A and B are shown apart, each in its own frame.
Chain A
Amino acid sequence: MTPTLQAFIIVSAALFSIGLLAALSRRHAIFILIGIEMMLAAANLNFIAFWRFAPPPHPPTGVMIAIFSIAISAAEAAVGLAMVIAVYRHYRTTNVDQYDQLKG
């Protein structure tokens, strides 16, 4: 039995939801970054799945976008971690609940 498109999308949606939940509910900045990475992974999975199940011919567009996206997410992770360290130095905590200086 070959896997179907729905299965991929369900997995991708689950992965996205888990990532979103992590980003929204975890208090630790690193975990939020991990949640964001998970949502990006879900998006990449969607690109690959839709590319794989699209009618022929198959130009490698989906793969290309996934590769770009992975590169960008790597850079984003690096920037994000750097920011977390910088913010930590300022607040002496990684708990995002206490990053509230933008409060109106």
Chain B
Amino acid sequence: MNPGIVSNLWLLPAVPFAAAVVILSLGKSRHKSAAVLAIGGQIVVLAISIVAFLPTLQTHGFRAVQNFTWFTFGEQTLRLGFVLDPLAAAMLVMISLVGLCIFVFSVGYMADDKNFTRFFAYLSFFSGAMLGVVIANSLLLLFMFWELVGLASYLLIGFWIERPSAAAAAKKAFITTRIGDMGFFLGMLWLYNRSGTLLFYDGGRGCLEGAGLALLGASATFIALLIFCGAVGKSGQFPLHVWLPDAMEGPTPVSALIHAATMVAAGVFLVARVYPLFSLGAINGVTSSLTVVVWIGVTTALMAALIAIAQADIKRILAYSTVSQLGLMMVSLGVGGVAAGIMHLIAHGFFKALLFLGSGSVIHGCHGEQDIRKMGGLRRLMPVTFGTYAIGMMALSGVPLFFSGGWTKEEILHATAHWPRSHAPYYLMLAGVVLTALYMTRQMIYVFFGNPRSAAEHAHESPRVMTMPLIVLAIGTVFLSFVLTSAWPWLHGYLTGEPVHFAIAHLIQPMLFISLLLVGSGIALGIWFYREAGAQNRDRPAEVDPLEYAQPALFRFLANKMWIDELYARTIIAFAWASARLSDWMDRYFWDGLVRGFGAIGQLFGIFTADVDERGINAGVDETTVGARGLGRLLSSAHSGQIQIYLGVVAVGMLALLLLYAWLA
């Protein structure tokens, strides 16, 4: 037990944030110190993660929390906190290790970029935010880091700001995820309204613990679905998946870090973290919110796998494969296989980072070319990249035994098969496995086999700093498979807190043969179908895809991503434009007209009062003064200044008074 570690967890986000700030303040030319700082920060983070990981190994169901008061308003106290449990610890190690590999890889990949330091600052910032998401013990704190992750992804996708497409992709990512975050935020408010706390674990009073959950009642379903909206946005689930493939505009290490290994995992992680909300009141492990999760996941997984078959951009294929795999994880969570989903998340983090970095190495070797139809034959020119890429490809396809993805995929299939509500997801997932093997085989054949085509003729193996991370990730991918096997499901036991026994007999299961058969048929189908892809074949030109040749309409449908972007452009975006235009018109003519009308009335009134003032009041005053002056002039004529006249008047007056007196008497 090491209870001290949880009080030091705040270092995890703080160290990379500090590194980012220092790198930014260093200035543009300090490439070396930027790389050293960022990688050093990441090593520190990895060390802390491992230190945090160790105590969780010793106790089953380990959970340590540290909560603190953020601020108090009135009677209420808003508390935040950090939590360390197997879920968080496993994610921490995965993120920091994969992150470290990607940081090192970036040193080589971004070597010639003039904004090298900015890139590392953003990477560090991203890493800190992602670690914050994992260790947050409060939905609010999680949401804050969640938004920081969104900001970091915006900055990194739009890193090459001089490209309009990158700027557009960054905006698209930010706005699309924001739609989901809106739901997340509403769900959070609702949760706070019902339970009065946003802490996950708080000694029995947290919103994920018995007493807190009991307060929720029927609203838990809606809260869970609203929070799931956020996960849909971040994890690129249908219908908000459209941003993820476009996000490939960012530099390839970014794609590896954000759009494969970590950020998109945040959505899956979120669902796993608040899983008690989803499963509240479950009958036989089924709730309506979990059913929604399953079907969203199934739709996403299949749709993205289909689209991936017809893409020509090496990174886009991987992007759709990520979308598809995330869908698979969602299915797993939805059917109750939380541990399976998280295991796949961790395994996927390794092999997808490996694949993305491998594709980065390929792109680097082909001088920036991303179109797989222009590559080919790289097997001989880039042997290290080829070997590691093949390991990643087999892990992704789900080849059993030595590749981590195979075991986790199998575990997911296992969980899906036992879902009481319907068997459809299971069969659809089996189809997904075939499709995954198919599109990965297609990609392998296009990129690494056949004869070198235009972009591949002068290809060269990448420098050591780029191949080393590939090797480390490949070893990680293979190594992980040993703790994932059904014979010794150590990671499963670690996550669920169940004791694990080594039993070689469990290795042989019917499921293993089914998946072996499926993966084998997928790869075989791919090899047979694409064996001469990229080369001239009878009357099919070299640049035409075999599927395009065989089924042009289907291929066009898939190559255009099922026209979902276009559908959104015609409906939601068109609606937004129309309403914007309507508001503009209303503003210009209606509200402005109203304001102007009032203005005109005011002006008229002003003219009227001015007139009254000028003609009535002023003229009245003028007339009065003229009258007063006339009267004054008249009266002043009596003042002749002649003293004798005054005296005479006095005498006449006195005489008149005397006469009056005499007459009255």
In the assembly, what is the distance between CA of A25 and CA of B639, in Å? Answer: 18
For A22-43 the 0/1 string (1 means CB < 8 A from B) is 0111000000100000000000
In the assembly, what is the distance between CA of A32 and CA of B642, in Å? Answer: 13
Instruction: Let me know if A102 is at the binding interface, CB within 8 A.
Output: yes
In the assembly, what is the distance between CA of A34 and CA of B641, in Å? Answer: 21
- Chain B interface: which of A1-9, A52-60, A71-79, A93-101? A93-101
> Is B640 touching A100 in the complex (CB atoms < 8 A)?
yes
In the assembly, what is the distance between CA of A35 and CA of B640, in Å? Answer: 22
Which of A23, A100, A104 contacts B635, CB < 8 Å?
A: A104
> Is B637 touching A100 in the complex (CB atoms < 8 A)?
no
Given contacts A104-B635, A104-B636, A104-B637, contact A96 B651 (CB under 8 A): no
> Is A23 touching B644 in the complex (CB atoms < 8 A)?
yes
- Nearest-neighbour CB distance to chain B for A64, whole angstroms, equals 26
> Is B639 touching A24 in the complex (CB atoms < 8 A)?
no
Instruction: Let me know if A18 is at the binding interface, CB within 8 A.
Output: no
Residues on B with C-beta less than 8 A from A103 are 636, 639-641
Instruction: Let me know if A48 is at the binding interface, CB within 8 A.
Output: no
Residues on B with C-beta less than 8 A from A32 are 644
Assign chain A's interface to a size class: 10 to 19
> Is B644 touching A101 in the complex (CB atoms < 8 A)?
no
> Is A99 touching B641 in the complex (CB atoms < 8 A)?
yes
Instruction: Let me know if A66 is at the binding interface, CB within 8 A.
Output: no
Instruction: Let me know if B499 is at the binding interface, CB within 8 A.
Output: no
> Is B639 touching A23 in the complex (CB atoms < 8 A)?
no
Q: How many residues of B contact A (CB 8 A)?
A: 13
- Nearest-neighbour CB distance to chain B for A61, whole angstroms, equals 25
Residues on A with C-beta less than 8 A from B636 are 103-104
Which of A24, A97, A100 contacts B647, CB < 8 Å?
A: A24
In the assembly, what is the distance between CA of A97 and CA of B642, in Å? Answer: 6
Residues on B with C-beta less than 8 A from A24 are 644, 647-648, 651
Residues on A with C-beta less than 8 A from B644 are 23-25, 32, 96-97
Given contacts A24-B648, A24-B651, contact A99 B643 (CB under 8 A): yes
> Is A96 touching B639 in the complex (CB atoms < 8 A)?
no
In the assembly, what is the distance between CA of A84 and CA of B641, in Å? Answer: 16
Where the two chains meet, the residues of B that have a C-beta atom closer than 8 Å to any C-beta of A are 635-644, 647-648, 651
Q: A100-B640, A103-B639 are in contact. List 20 more A-B contacts (CB 8 A).
A: A20-B651, A23-B644, A23-B647, A24-B647, A24-B648, A24-B651, A32-B644, A96-B642, A96-B644, A97-B644, A99-B641, A99-B643, A100-B641, A101-B641, A102-B639, A102-B641, A103-B640, A103-B641, A104-B638, A104-B639
